């Protein structure tokens, strides 16, 4: 099945977790991705919250796969900040391999944050955000797909 952001925003938390666990890590991405926060999944508020977050706070991530790092694009003018190490590791959700976005050694403001992503289809990754080991929200990353 092909997915898009609108479908992900309508899914329940259980559906998002099932989709995440049903997929493999995939390759560590490279380049710029548009990010969408998935807050209050499956509710009528989820698309509105995602739009608000995208406009006023977080636009996405820019990956440098060769060096194993990324930066987050913040604010509406694309400020690159909050660096993370990127590597493959075991997911805190299900113990299977995922791509870890680790802020513990690279960021003072986000050192307790760990993201995990998995490829759910070409150009589209689904992610989980943890504060220490407590799950916070989900998100997705859209990369341009080249033929």
Domain ranges across the chain: 5-82+118-129+137-142
Average pLDDT over every residue of 100-116: 93
pLDDT score for 79:
66
| Predicted confidence (pLDDT) per residue in 5-44, tens digit | 999 999 999 999 999 999 999 999 999 999 999 988 888 7
| Predicted confidence (pLDDT) per residue in 49-95, tens digit | 777 666 567 889 999 999 999 999 887 656 678 899 999 999 999 99
Helix (H, G, I), strand (E, B) or coil at 33: strand
Residue 125 is classified by DSSP as: E
Contact between 73 and 80 under an 8 Å Cβ cutoff? The reply is yes
Phi, psi angle pair for 52, to nearest 5°:
-60, -50
pLDDT at 117 over 90: yes
pLDDT at 115 over 70: yes
């Amino acid at each position: 099945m092909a997915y898009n952001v609108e479908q992900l925003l309508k899914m329940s938390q259980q559906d998002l977790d099932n989709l995440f666990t049903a997929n493999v890590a995939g390759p560590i991405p490279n380049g710029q991705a548009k990010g969408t926060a998935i807050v209050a999944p499956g509710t009528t508020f989820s698309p509105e919250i995602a739009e608000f977050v995208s406009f006023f706070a977080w636009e996405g991530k820019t990956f440098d796969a060769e060096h194993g790092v990324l930066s987050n694009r913040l604010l509406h003018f694309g400020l690159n900040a909050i660096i993370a190490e990127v590597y493959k590791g075991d997911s805190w959700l299900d113990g299977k391999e995922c791509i870890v976005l680790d802020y513990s050694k690279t960021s003072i403001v986000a050192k307790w944050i760990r993201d995990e992503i998995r490829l759910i289809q070409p150009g589209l990754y689904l992610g989980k955000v943890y504060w220490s080991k407590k799950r916070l929200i989900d998100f997705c990353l859209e990369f341009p797909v080249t033929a």
